Homo-oligomer: A and B are copies of this chain.
Amino acid sequence: MKKLTSLQEAIAAIPDGAVVGLGGNTLNRAPMAAVFELARQNKRCLSLVKTAGAMDIDLLCLAQCVASVDAGFVSYETEFSLAQHYRKSVEKGLVKANEHACYTVICALRAAAYGAPFLPVTGLREGDLLRVNPCFRRITDPFSGDPVTLVRAIRPDWSILHVHKADPDGNGAILGPQYEDVLLSRASKKVLLTTEELVDRDYFRQGESKADIPGFLVSAVVYLPKGASPCACHGHYSPDKEQISSFLRLRDRDQLMEWLKGGPGGE
């Protein structure tokens, strides 16, 4: 029942081929230290799930860890432009891009959280996504007789979330925007928390502010200050633009592995 562990051990528990949900949004609170470790441990054929990803997905594509990406949007914010490694991996046929509207990822995760096989998505009515993404089906609403689009549940094997505070039992709290992290914690079979701060068992029990993610949903907790860096962590740090730029200059997997040895986030 001991959940508090090292990053190496926690990531070692995630098998090749796993469906992995990633917390955060674009350059905000992505679980970057855990992403680095996935790359270092040379994971293969991961299916990544996220509404809007950036450096996390881009790096795992460069590291050749990825089989497919279910996402609505994969790109850096304006100043860093496209996610070139993701882009090239898809163009070369190495990674399958399963394009969603961000909301259909949310609906697919909600379906998983609700133990339901699918959820209706009223807004997705026409266009080519319906044609190319096998997650979608059009059926007839049995109540009204009108057509309605369903999205199939996506249940990650693991979700990796970087939180602000966690206790050794896996109770975790996020300050500021939660993005889809709380939903991911419910939708996934197992949850790995990396945490900016480790609090003791009384912190949530005795305090006014309660955890957003209950410990019984969490399999592993890793104490990891700066665990979202070089992405931002609300209230702690902004994106580390130098590190991001230095990553963006890498050209292949070997350079990435060298770069990861240098210990990004630890500098």
Contact = CB atoms under 8 A, between A and B. Distances in A.
A116 interface: yes
A242 interface: no
With a 10 A CB-CB cut-off, give which of A116, A121, A137 has the most chain B CB atoms.
Answer: A116
A118 B143 contact: yes
Contact of A114 (B116, B117, B120, B152): B120
Interface residues of A, number: 22
Contacts of A123: 115
Contacts of A119: 114, 116, 119-120
Interface string A94-111: 000000000000010001
A97 B121 CA distance: 30
B115 A148 contact: no
B118 A120 contact: yes
A141 interface: yes
A121 B117 contact: no
Contacts of A111: 120
Contact of A144 (B117, B141, B148): B117
Contacts of A139: 139, 142
Nearest to A148: B117
Interface in A200-230: none
A258 interface: no
Contacts of A141: 117-118
Contacts of A143: 117-118, 137, 150, 152
Given A139-B142, A143-B137, A152-B143, A114 B118 contact: no
17 contacts: A114-B119, A114-B120, A115-B122, A115-B123, A116-B119, A116-B148, A117-B120, A117-B143, A117-B144, A117-B146, A117-B148, A118-B120, A118-B141, A118-B143, A119-B119, A139-B142, A143-B152
Interface of A: 107, 111, 114-123, 137, 139, 141-144, 146, 148, 150, 152
